[in-house]
A and B are shown apart, each in its own frame.
Chain A
Amino acid sequence: MTELSRNANRVLVQFANVVSGQIRSGWVTLPDGRPEKITLNHGNRPNEAVIRFAALRWDQSYENLSAGDLIRLITDDGLGEESVLFEGVFVSRVNGFTGGTERESAAEHNVIVCRDYRWLYNTCNPIYGVWARGPDCYDNWGQPNQQAIAYRAQWFSGRACIFNEDGRPNRDPDGFLIQNDQRWPGAACTIPIFGGGPNAEWWTVRQMIVYLLAPMHNRIWTICPIVNPAALPGLEHADFDLVINSVDADRKRPIDAVAQICGRIGWTLREEYTAAGPQWVFYKPGYAAGSERTAQNRTILHTLYAPVPGESIAAAAARGEKMLWAAEFDESLDATINTPIGLGAPKVYEITVPLVPGWKDSRLEPDTSNEMKNLYLTESQLQREPNPDQYSFFSYYHPLGSSFRPEVGRKWVLNETGAYAGSGYNRGAPFDWASVLPAEEITDPQTGWRMYGPFARRLLPCLTHQDGTLETVGVVVELSLDGGQSWQRFDGPVRLMRTECGIAIEQPNLSEILDKQQRKISGGPLDNLELNYWTSLCDDILQQRAWPQWRTRVRITASVQMDERLLYAGQPGAASASPYPQAAAVLLDEYTYSLRTDSSIFAESGLAAWNTDEGVKLAQQIDKLRAANEDMAISGRFTLARMWCGDGAGVPTFQPGDGLEKLSGREYDLFASWTEGAGVYPEIVQIIYDIQNQKEHLITRNLRFAEIR
């Protein structure tokens, strides 16, 4: 059979009955089924087949065939091994009829639509809750010799399936071994599961996918068993070793989640068919190479043939060229991105910083009457007083007082914007971040300028975490009543300001914040009076000390987010199609930079800190984005003169993800490059077998970046 004259490809429709989720028959050929169209897609979009029953009226149905039955379309050419072009599930029936008009005949149609196993898997297996280990999944739980039982794990419905949540590891270092388990016959795999505690590890992309496709989530095991998800073709690639943060799969459909995760590292998947059944194959768009499909090379390049003007097609047909009958495509710089800019999270630093009083000195008026006996009253004294409001200490400086001055003695701020530098406050220059942050973190190496602005910020919990846990120590407020010579931890109630770096002390009675060294005031009008927080403030005022000569000081240890972020800008490679730096800012704030500085009181504490620098991970991801998108996109439809179903090879010639290298004959290269260097090839994102017209359409289009974004 030559390419000049050949027989049409025969495609048989076969079905297998499914009852209550169980396959109840072998493959039976449907003589009345006329396959019309097969559409193959990549990612989470299912393959679809349309089958028409030409001999049935619209109100009839084939008695042995029910919705939900398995359907496959297989070649019947007698050339060798037959190719399975589609396998899936009978999902819907489309009936219709028309009485016709004077110009059009009456017509009836009776059509079924089938979708592939990705659709079925997605539909049946939503992800919710997590699999992890409880106390009964360990030997010697809680003991030093505690050990995970490999084949035990349990499901917790109240937890959300978020991998590396908040950029922190949450994978159990010991996987869940499934073997000889009656729930999933034939399964032999180790599934990574969720886990907490100090030994938790990061999820890699591969581990996330394996978890999502694990037997535990599979309600259609008899139809679609994945005995070892880690062995799915393509997952062995090193790209899947990448760790990405905060991947939320909760309440998502598994294939949707898998496709989304793959998209973040520039991969996708397709469903392939063999006589043994379907399988999911992972591949990297835009990376097709070679002409032979192997286990290592799952996407290949094809050369199509477009005859030279004036040429007779006989010679090309005799050579068996893949004759291109029609094509419509465009080459565009529009979607090129050769300078992707990765925007990681803003940088966060743990610091210990001095605060300044957030009130005007004139607002603190110590009551020196009655030989200082009215200067302050303890809570027990106030409770005995029938009219405590007669004391200014109560009326002005106690939250229950009638003229309460909420900021006085209570509000301490960093003055990062300089709002407290002016008259009335006189708290000095705006806070200089360079005094607490390492020079290399805060100084532009080119200009030597400090890299922050006078923006108001918020204090955040410390990066330091408590011994043996990942729980932050929070913020730590300390007082000094001796001008900073000694500090004592303030363990009363404190509220963090929302609009600036600062705190509000919420202890009702400020005189009950005692000096832990139980000292007395020495000298001045308050000589020999008890030293506490309130008397210390009064002493500073009465002795007319100007800030920063006050003996009362407050400092805080907390984290703060600065004005620079983790940033990585990819550079155009030699293969870039565009002479312009076509950029896109990609927010990838799951990558973080956080540092506990030496200024923190915890720097020498021995406690661990959540120091991160995920710049390398960010750069890896951005470089992958750039490599996949730096060239021109060729989008179009290439229609072949016939269907290429394998010709006895057992597998179809074209697969989604394959590339189109060249249109020989016209010698038109399809790799996209306007500058020197290797280009990328238009990849096939959709294949349509138009069986009635015996045509095969290859759809190429650029959705690489769209997928990733």
Chain B
Amino acid sequence: MHSTNYIIRFVLVMTAIVAVILSLMSTGLKPIHDKNEAVYNKTAILSAIASHLGKDLKTLSDEEIGAIFSEKVTQKVLNMDGKVIDEATMMEMGYKDGLAESVDMGKEMKKPEEDRVLPLFIYESDKGNEFYILNVRGKGLWDEIWGCVALEDDMNTIAGVAFDHKAETPGLGAEIKDSQAFKEQFVGKKIYRPDGEYKSIYVRKGGAKDPVHEVDGISGATITADGVTEMMQRGIAYYEPYFDKINK
């Protein structure tokens, strides 16, 4: 039988040793973790325009993704009025390096609508075409869903999309991320009607009726699909003021 004194000493020493080991490891690996996270986010953004990269995104190394991002992608941060916020102002507002990639849409969505900032990535392909990659975020069935939408330089035609989710059902709602066929449907769809009215994209249960603004839903995933519709409607509309400004 050990004395109470011994037990207290044992527990204290154990706690101290564990704390030192874990904090050393955590701080030591922090730079690698940050780098991995940045590459992961960059890959997610580039996957919206995967077909225009000229290379297979999956085969690119971390360095190559970083290189594409620094050479061909222009990052801008917009406020809700469509004005570009410069890096210095962003840093004053508390964003790490003032770049669009440091904007966490999850945190932005929790702010009041007028205080949000929007990241915008402009990718210039080898052929000289510009693609505007927008970030959108909404709610699925179980939890948040989000995605990147790439528009061609007419700011109307969709060049590609990439979706992700926190907890949608595998095989049903999760197909918005996993199914290549679902994402390919968005390519070539328009967000404006010919008369200039904002329409966005509608994910229709039972099959698309309008070939320009609608895509087929996923059977068994109606609520997730409705979430995608809502996210596209609202998320793309946030960028409208900016598009209006540069189109004038």
A in complex with B: no
